[in-house]
């Protein structure tokens, strides 16, 4: 009896406490079938889009080096190879991906990483056994977008949407060729918009979705519930290699801008300011009157920003009439503008707001293919040591230089002894910190040149013409 009274008193106390709390209650709603006796299906909505998504097979020749320890001494003498030298062996690497037909005459958009370095690209269209040989029109590693072309007429071309009108929670479908099993469709929603700082591309403004995106889906279509293209599937975050419900697609508005330049000019031109920037942290917000923008950390020499008088500590809050929310927003806004365009930056400096006129420059290359006398030696592809590359390859911060990302088979670079992964640190007496330094060094020195490289922690020297 005592226990029962205690329970009743507790209920009464709880009721009294809750009486002062006002919760918002939703009205009750009936549960209904979508349509009794009918099957709910999006087949008609995505039917045309599915016909526009192609399978891509890219092949590239790769030279491997067989360690001497795996080679019998007899064969070492036969090949006249000194001790410690590796024997090259060529193999063909193949990769599968997806692409989207965007014009009836055969232009196809895909990811750059699907066809990067490919010697041959083959395309098959759904419902047809015919295999097309594709021509690479142009690539843009900064956004991971590429355009290829097949010869054809009246091909099924997908309808374009407007990624600026998307909303979180919109129903979407990912169409592609996961794991090479053939055409496949997965369904989900838009989980988030404007995702940046993911560390995948240099320019990021991703659509995040939980629609299953697996290996082979790269370059495929992300469409809305009408079957209209809103993005190109690009990457996933996963620990297992399979979809964990965190996929990223490049917004179609960005894709159209990049693809148009690749088709018309073969390359993409990005506006360049020449500053290092940071977001407004909570601490920094206390020393600025504006609560959004990009903080200038450094102004590079001989850049548009330097000529315009920008200073370290400036807070850029607008580009023309476009508000700037953070550092990524500024990078994407400036990058979307053509070199040579004059813009007005709204800047806060010492708690005062002013405007600065800037004429944008050309974005300096972070990746350079060496052809003939334009670089160190024919057959090399060089890249700057970006934080992403350092993190992926475990390169310490105290090592400076440019990394050799590709050595073309049977080229002068291969004959000189260059290998992928080599870091060029010095040419003659000039220290190398960027691909631009390589060009400067080649102009400064003539004749045979000493090229110092860091190969897996060991310093080596190569001689090139």
CATH number at 106 reads 2.40.10.10
Domain annotation covers residue 22: no
| 309 and 399 within one domain | no
Strand segments (E) across 68-204: 87-101, 107-111, 120-124, 131-140, 145-149, 171-176, 184-195
Rounded CA-CA distance 422/435 in Å is 14
Strand segments (E) across 322-411: 322-323, 342-349, 352-359, 361-362, 367-369, 380-384, 402-407
Would the CA dihedral through 204, 205, 207, 208 be positive or negative? positive
Domain annotation covers residue 16: no
Q: Please tell me the pTM assigned to this model.
A: 0.65
Known catalytic residues are 113, 144, 218
Going by C-alpha positions, the residue among 204, 233, 203 that lies closest to residue 218 is 233
- One digit per residue, pLDDT tens: the chain, 465 residues? 555 555 555 555 445 545 578 777 778 878 777 777 788 888 888 899 999 999 888 887 665 554 544 444 444 444 444 444 455 555 666 667 889 999 999 999 999 888 887 888 899 898 888 889 999 999 888 888 999 999 988 899 999 999 888 899 989 999 988 655 668 888 889 898 877 766 566 677 788 988 877 777 788 899 998 899 999 988 766 555 555 668 888 999 999 999 998 999 888 888 888 888 888 878 778 888 888 898 888 888 788 988 888 888 889 998 988 898 888 888 888 888 888 889 999 998 888 899 889 999 887 755 454 443 344 567 788 888 877 677 767 788 888 899 988 888 778 888 888 888 899 999 888 899 888 888 888 778 877 788 889 987 788 888 887
Domain annotation covers residue 20: no
Domain annotation covers residue 25: no
Among residues 265, 288, 311, the one where a domain terminates is 265
* Residue partners of 300: CB distance under 8 A and separation at least 6: 274, 275, 276, 306
| Three-class secondary structure of residue 446 per DSSP | coil
Residues 247, 186 contacting (CB under 8 angstroms): no
In sequence order, the β-bridge partners of residue 294 are: 279, 316
Among residues 91, 115, 149, the one where a domain terminates is 149
Cβ atoms within 10 A of the Cβ of 241, count?
9
Our count of domains for the chain comes to: 4
- Residue labelled with tokens 């640190």: 425
Q: Which two tokens stand for residue 20?
A: 């002062």
Domain annotation covers residue 389: yes
| 123 and 170 within one domain | no
Rounded CA-CA distance 65/181 in Å is 32
| 376 and 457 within one domain | yes
Residues 388, 369 contacting (CB under 8 angstroms): no
| 408 and 353 within one domain | no
Domain annotation covers residue 24: no
Rounded CA-CA distance 250/236 in Å is 12
Q: Looking at residue 457, which CATH number applies to its domain?
A: 2.30.42.10
Among residues 265, 292, 309, the one where a domain terminates is 265
| 350 and 258 within one domain | no
Domain that holds residue 421: 367-464
Helix (H) or strand (E) holding 70: none
Rounded CA-CA distance 401/435 in Å is 8
| 196 and 258 within one domain | yes
């Amino acid at each position: 009896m005592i226990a029962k009274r205690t329970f009743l008193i507790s209920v009464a106390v709880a009721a009294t406490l809750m009486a002062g709390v006002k919760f918002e209650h939703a009205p009750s709603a009936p549960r209904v079938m979508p349509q009794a006796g009918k099957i709910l299906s999006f087949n008609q909505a995505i039917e045309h889009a599915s016909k526009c998504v192609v399978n891509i097979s890219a092949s590239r020749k790769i030279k491997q080096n067989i360690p001497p320890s795996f080679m019998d001494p007899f064969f070492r003498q036969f090949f006249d190879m000194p001790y410690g030298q590796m024997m090259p062996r060529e193999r063909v690497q193949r990769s599968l991906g997806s692409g989207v037909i965007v014009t009836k005459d055969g232009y196809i958009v895909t990811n750059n990483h699907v066809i990067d370095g490919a010697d041959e690209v083959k395309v098959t269209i759904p419902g047809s056994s015919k295999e097309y040989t594709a021509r690479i029109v142009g690539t843009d590693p900064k956004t991971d977008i590429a355009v290829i072309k097949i010869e054809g007429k009246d091909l099924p071309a997908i309808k374009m949407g407007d990624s600026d009108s998307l909303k979180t929670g919109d129903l979407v479908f990912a169409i592609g060729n996961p794991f090479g099993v053939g055409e496949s469709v997965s369904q989900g929603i838009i989980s988030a918009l404007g995702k940046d700082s993911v560390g995948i591309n240099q320019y990021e403004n991703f659509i995040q979705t939980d629609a299953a995106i697996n290996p082979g889906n790269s370059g495929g279509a992300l469409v809305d519930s009408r079957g209209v293209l809103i993005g190109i599937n690009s990457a996933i975050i996963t620990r297992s290699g399979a979809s964990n419900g965190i996929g990223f697609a490049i917004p179609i508005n960005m894709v159209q801008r990049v693809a148009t330049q690749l088709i018309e000019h073969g390359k993409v031109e990005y506006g360049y300011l020449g500053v290092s920037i940071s977001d407004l942290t909570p601490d920094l917000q206390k020393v600025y009157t504006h609560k959004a923008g990009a903080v200038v950390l450094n102004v590079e020499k001989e850049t548009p920003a330097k000529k315009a008088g920008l200073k370290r500590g400036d807070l850029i809050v607008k580009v023309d009439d476009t508000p700037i929310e953070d550092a990524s927003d500024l990078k994407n806004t400036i990058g979307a503008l053509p070199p040579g365009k004059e813009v007005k930056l709204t800047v806060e400096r010492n708690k005062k707001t002013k405007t600065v006129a800037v004429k944008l420059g050309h974005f300096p290359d972070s990746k350079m293919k060496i052809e003939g006398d334009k670089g160190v030696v024919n057959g090399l592809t060089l890249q700057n040591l970006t934080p992403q590359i350092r993190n992926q390859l475990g390169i310490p911060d105290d090592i400076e230089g440019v990394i050799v990302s590709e050595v073309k088979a049977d080229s002068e670079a291969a004959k000189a002894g260059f290998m992928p992964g080599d870091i060029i640190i010095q040419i003659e007496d000039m220290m190398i910190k960027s691909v631009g330094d390589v060009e400067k060094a080649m102009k400064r020195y003539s004749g045979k040149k000493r090229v110092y490289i860091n190969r897996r922690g060991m310093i080596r020297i190569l001689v090139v013409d």
